[in-house]
Structure 1
Amino acid sequence: MKLFKAALLAAALAMPMTPAISLATTPADILVVAQNIDDIVSIDPAEAYEFSSGEYVAQTYDRLVQYDAADTKTLAAGLAKEWAADDATKTITFTLRDGVKFTSGNPLRAEDVVYSWKRVIVLNKAPAFILTQLGWTPENFDSMVKADGNKVVVKYEGDFASAFVLNVLAARPASVVDAVTLQANEANGDMGNGWLKSNSAGTGPFVLKAFRPGELINLTANAEYFNGAPAIKGVIIRHVAEAATQQLLLESGDVDMAKNLTSDQIATIAGKDTLVTETYPQAAVHFLSFNQKDEALQPEAVWDAARYLVNYKGMTDTFLKGQMQTHQAFWPSGFPGSLDETPYTYDPAKAKQILADAGVKTPITVTLDVINSTPFTDMAQSLQASFAEAGINFEIIPGTGSQVITKYRARTHEAMLLYWGPDFMDPHSNAKAFAYNEDNSDGNYQSTTTWRNGWAVPEELNKETKAALAEPDQAKRSAMYVDLQKKVQEKSPIVIMFQAATQVARAKNVDGYVNGATSDFVYYRLVKKN
């Protein structure tokens, strides 16, 4: 504890205009966060692919269009003040804001945008696929994306609408970096990748002051931020792996926020006058699925009954409390186009009647593969007990994550308990996974839940999924995805049960923290300490 306080005090004193403080009080204009950040591999936005690095990128970089702290559900102007899309020619022309500067002081240019995206394609790190799906390659990029004065002209390939492209360009790897600064710090043709692993080169509300892997991220406010200077002078994110230590530091006043507490700790903290807890829905949806290569699981009555055999409330009121919320559609709540209706409740009598009316003979014995860790094993045991009420008997097969997923990809399971999260904020990311499968043959491997469960999706859903992807009108497009979710919710061998949630505890005097449905939508720029 003494070592932590000394390090915290040293970091606080290093901040400009920081008043003298006692060891048990954080600076009035600095937010101090306790968080496990040891997942970070890189903080270069062209390479960052972890949860914690995603949060960091959101503080230090901007995209041409983005989901901002003011409204994480609406795609808004970022570094581009306006844009014009031509779906017929598959072209979008962005006009940059005037007067925007990088934190280095260099002015934002269209050439910086072109360089940033080309850099992602050329470096070809983990998140590059998000941009390459637009048909961009190292060979054709210069003909696809061009700078024209204060405009960026983007061409794309593929049978999809500009609305989809805009969501792709709002994703993390589309962050705009300072080309002049990176070119000056390039080493051995790495386009500044090495330098950017310990420095920032963005336009964001904060600038990186220090990053020490497995120790801290120290951010200073960018007073010239185009969207308005942050309300707080800086943010210090301390790496604290142990939840018990995070709780101790929060309760003693050594940190303002703790982000990795258990549900039991959250319950304890909720009763304290000086602290506040918040629960934020996250993007991952958890589901139970039935492999349609198994004849006993093919009757639609089995799918229908299953929706009434999940003890949703029983789980979320006990061991899943605070960790998951009931959600029964494939696109997560908190995202544009989500379906938040939850029409199914635990009703074994209704489930038995559905099976009886369809002439399904019970008992049915089904193996259920599950990752051998909490809360998945607890969920499997709950399902085993509740499904037995209607004569569907699960034999639980626990395994490591890799074992379970390998079996799922091979389509050799019977029933599967797993989760799914989008790679970027567009409903097609999940619609393709849950509502599309035109070729169900064994040799046509697809990274979707439909193919992996051997479900030959009805042609109606396949057509609607493709139509939604190509629909240029955003309101119509969202409505189409809501309709797709309703249809999958009503008739599918994939039973979506829950959406993950994250719980954050903070001092009562901290206000304005924003935690959206993914790590890319965590924002500190509106935080105030009263």
Structure 2
Amino acid sequence: MKLYKAALMAAALTLPFMQPVWAATPDHSLVVAQNINDIVALDPAQAYEFSSGELVSNLYDRLVQYDAEDTTVLAAGLASEWTADDAAKTIRFTMRENAKFNSGNPVRAEDVVFSLSRVIKLNLTPAFILTQLGWTPENVDQMVTVDNGQVVLKYDGDFSSAFVLNVLAARPASIVDEKTVMANEKDGDLGNGWLNTNSAGSGPFTLAAYKPGEMVRLNANPDYFKGAPAMRGVIIRHVAESATQQLLLTSGDVDMARNMTADQISGIKSDDIKVESFPQAAVHFLAFNQKSEALQPKAVWEAARYLVDYEGMSNTFLKGQMVPHQAFWPKGFPGSYDEMPYSYNPEKAKQILKDAGIKTPINVKLDVINSAPFADMAQSLQASFAEGGINFDILPGTGSQVITKYRERSHDGVLLYWGPDFMDPHSNAKAFAYNRDNSDENYQATTAWRNAWAVPDDINDMTTKALSEADPEKRQELYIELQKRVQTESPVVVMFQAAYQVPMNKKVNGYVNGALSDFVYYRLVTKN
């Protein structure tokens, strides 16, 4: 047992009670230090927090899902195969034969119907993801049915089956064991209360223990249809303080720390610790309001793309936090466009403005959230844009102040970020590439409308076409082309994609941390 006195003394200064002394981690279990105080619910019909989303993905399966082997590929889950009829707006799923719930009950088509209708009828926070399919408490029993052991799913909307499949890969579409859940129902809650401290899934792990604000313990499912996890279990210790996480990691009392700061990570000197970086879903952008006449010429937008010091920022104060990315759909997602045609070139930017007959300097008021890293980003942009003849007057404000002005379309320029609700490119395309009605009265929670960009009809049409395209490959091609169009023809300059650094013991391999919290997987982890 390791007596890490320094860690205990530091913890005592910051925590209301002394942390216990922990032994070195066992070879057959992964021990994680993580702040998990955001968990409100573990029931997949209610879970909407980052930490709970990670747990749901390790406890449950979906009909189709993005798996640990490749989080960019939509793969068969509890459905072994499916056929889609886009004309009839129907998808028929054949169930996998060898899948069992942790209870030992076989996974049935009836469990799928129960699980999906349960989300609609409970109507808790994440239900909106499924209600997009035209499902209501009144019609869901007719929209999702069983026919000869298969699941027949109907939907209502002007979109393709490819979009529907991505919706079904989202968290609230997780499949629960009807028999176990209903055996624990109380007062008509469809087992909601019980599922918030227990699990009833078919996933690679089962919930062995959950103590809010203290710990989560997962036990491996030896009968998982894709094979048992290498680790017998995962222990997630709630450690709120990043400094304490650092001490636990460097002393060897945990295998992984999930919430250390960039400064703490860069200061790690131990040869026993490695740091892995994972792209995240949020994209960070600079946008120009088209209500400002000086910012309407397309040459201004083009020049701006050459005035961002992408590499300079990402290699210094943004190191480990963001990586350059120049399209609205994040890297690591199907259909992403990862080419970066722009680099810092103030001379080229000045020539673009000169050729367009635009007089400089151009003065722009830039609204920025007054916290890191936005304040530092704004100062970098102020310096680099000045080299091209565009002067930023930085207006710092709280997040709510900046976003309120943005929603009111009363800003000049703004520095913000955007993330998708689920893994389908339409989630961002509707924000960056669609705005048929640019009137002030037609409020839209999108970047296009908020920047008063009247999206050209052909780009609007392309967004609509991509949404309804049935062929997955053609659909991805449409979204890639759409990103190229927006990249060159909109007043929104996408600059970076968020990144997430995870320091861990060098013995740990196979940890998967995808771009969404739903894509955190422990199944492939080994400790060598």
Q: Which residue of 1 aligns with 2:207?
A: 208
Larger deviation, residues 336-345 vs 182-191: 182-191
Q: Which residue of 2 aligns with 1:8?
A: none
Offset at residue 149 of structure 1 (A): 3.6
Q: Does 1:221 align with 2:220?
A: yes
Structure-2 separation of matches of 1:30 and 1:149: 42
Q: Which residue of 2 aligns with 1:151?
A: 150
Q: Which residue of 1 aligns with 2:420?
A: 422
Offset at residue 148 of structure 1 (A): 2.1
Is the contact made by 1:300 and 1:491 (CA closer than 8 Å) also made in structure 2?
A: yes
Offset at residue 4 of structure 1 (A): 9.8
Q: Which residue of 2 aligns with 1:262?
A: 261
Structure-1 separation of matches of 2:160 and 2:526: 39
Is the contact made by 1:110 and 1:149 (CA closer than 8 Å) also made in structure 2?
A: no
Offset at residue 484 of structure 1 (A): 0.6
Q: How does 1:403-414 map to 2 (within 5 A)?
A: 403-414=401-412
Q: How does 1:426-445 map to 2 (within 5 A)?
A: 426-445=424-443
Q: TM-score, normalised by structure 2?
A: 0.95
Offset at residue 272 of structure 1 (A): 2.7
Structure-2 separation of matches of 1:423 and 1:117: 18
Is the contact made by 2:7 and 2:248 (CA closer than 8 Å) also made in structure 1?
A: no
Is the contact made by 1:40 and 1:50 (CA closer than 8 Å) also made in structure 2?
A: yes
Q: Which residue of 1 aligns with 2:357?
A: 359
Q: SS of the residue aligned with 2:75?
A: strand
Q: Which residue of 1 aligns with 2:347?
A: 349
Q: Does 1:372 align with 2:332?
A: no
Structure-2 separation of matches of 1:4 and 1:314: 36
Offset at residue 23 of structure 1 (A): 4.6
Structure-1 separation of matches of 2:57 and 2:385: 43
Offset at residue 120 of structure 1 (A): 1.1
Q: Which residue of 1 aligns with 2:18?
A: none
Is the contact made by 2:42 and 2:195 (CA closer than 8 Å) also made in structure 1?
A: yes
Q: Which residue of 1 aligns with 2:315?
A: 317
Q: SS of the residue aligned with 1:81?
A: strand
Structure-1 separation of matches of 2:83 and 2:441: 41
Match of 1:335 among 333, 336, 339: 333
Offset at residue 255 of structure 1 (A): 0.2
Is the contact made by 1:308 and 1:348 (CA closer than 8 Å) also made in structure 2?
A: yes
Structure-1 separation of matches of 2:317 and 2:149: 54
Q: How does 1:59-98 map to 2 (within 5 A)?
A: 59-98=58-97
Offset at residue 3 of structure 1 (A): 13
Is the contact made by 2:370 and 2:396 (CA closer than 8 Å) also made in structure 1?
A: yes
Q: Aligned partner of 2:410: which letter?
A: T
Q: TM-score, normalised by structure 1?
A: 0.95
Q: Does 1:117 align with 2:112?
A: no
Structure-2 separation of matches of 1:105 and 1:378: 54
Offset at residue 60 of structure 1 (A): 0.2
Offset at residue 390 of structure 1 (A): 2.0
Structure-2 separation of matches of 1:25 and 1:319: 34
Q: How does 1:388-403 map to 2 (within 5 A)?
A: 388-403=386-401
Q: Does 1:276 align with 2:255?
A: no
- Alignment length (residue pairs): 513
Q: Which residue of 2 aligns with 1:26?
A: 25
Match of 1:516 among 483, 499, 514: 514
Q: SS of the residue aligned with 1:488?
A: helix
Is the contact made by 2:433 and 2:460 (CA closer than 8 Å) also made in structure 1?
A: yes
Q: Which residue of 1 aligns with 2:137?
A: 138
Q: Aligned partner of 1:262: which letter?
A: T
Offset at residue 391 of structure 1 (A): 2.3
Q: Which residue of 1 aligns with 2:495?
A: 497
Structure-2 separation of matches of 1:243 and 1:170: 32
Q: Aligned partner of 1:283: which letter?
A: A
CA RMSD of aligned residues (A): 1.5
Is the contact made by 2:508 and 2:525 (CA closer than 8 Å) also made in structure 1?
A: yes
Q: Aligned partner of 2:104: which letter?
A: G
Q: SS of the residue aligned with 1:28?
A: coil
Q: SS of the residue aligned with 1:378?
A: helix
Larger deviation, residues 156-165 vs 187-196: 187-196
Is the contact made by 1:37 and 1:239 (CA closer than 8 Å) also made in structure 2?
A: yes
Structure-2 separation of matches of 1:54 and 1:453: 32
Q: Which residue of 2 aligns with 1:231?
A: 230
Is the contact made by 2:466 and 2:479 (CA closer than 8 Å) also made in structure 1?
A: yes
Q: Which residue of 2 aligns with 1:180?
A: 179
Structure-2 separation of matches of 1:55 and 1:462: 35
Q: Which residue of 2 aligns with 1:488?
A: 486
Q: SS of the residue aligned with 1:95?
A: strand
Structure-1 separation of matches of 2:149 and 2:511: 33
Offset at residue 24 of structure 1 (A): 4.3
Offset at residue 239 of structure 1 (A): 1.2
User: 1:141–1:255: structure 2 CA closer, same or farther, 3 Å change rule?
Assistant: same
Q: Which runs of 5+ in 1 are unaligned?
A: 6-21
Structure-2 separation of matches of 1:23 and 1:416: 47
CA deviations 1:325-358 (Å, max 9, x no partner) are: 0000011000111111111111111111111111
Q: SS of the residue aligned with 1:443?
A: coil
Structure-1 separation of matches of 2:302 and 2:153: 45
Is the contact made by 1:369 and 1:417 (CA closer than 8 Å) also made in structure 2?
A: yes
CA deviations 1:171-190 (Å, max 9, x no partner) are: 00100011112212122222
Q: SS of the residue aligned with 1:349?
A: helix
Structure-2 separation of matches of 1:280 and 1:365: 37
Q: Which residue of 1 aligns with 2:251?
A: 252
Q: How does 1:154-165 map to 2 (within 5 A)?
A: 154-165=153-164
Shift >4 Å, 4+ stretches = 1-5
Is the contact made by 1:24 and 1:252 (CA closer than 8 Å) also made in structure 2?
A: no
Is the contact made by 2:203 and 2:221 (CA closer than 8 Å) also made in structure 1?
A: yes
Q: Which residue of 1 aligns with 2:13?
A: none
Structure-2 separation of matches of 1:207 and 1:504: 24
Offset at residue 266 of structure 1 (A): 2.1
Offset at residue 515 of structure 1 (A): 1.0
Q: SS of the residue aligned with 1:31?
A: strand
Q: Which residue of 2 aligns with 1:108?
A: 107
Offset at residue 359 of structure 1 (A): 1.4
Q: SS of the residue aligned with 1:34?
A: strand
Structure-2 separation of matches of 1:438 and 1:258: 46
Structure-2 separation of matches of 1:77 and 1:3: 49
Offset at residue 2 of structure 1 (A): 7.7
Q: SS of the residue aligned with 1:454?
A: coil
Q: Which residue of 2 aligns with 1:476?
A: 474
Percent sequence identity is: 71
Is the contact made by 1:214 and 1:239 (CA closer than 8 Å) also made in structure 2?
A: yes
Q: How does 1:189-200 map to 2 (within 5 A)?
A: 189-200=188-199
Structure-1 separation of matches of 2:494 and 2:431: 13
Q: Which residue of 2 aligns with 1:455?
A: 453
Offset at residue 464 of structure 1 (A): 0.7
Structure-1 separation of matches of 2:513 and 2:239: 19
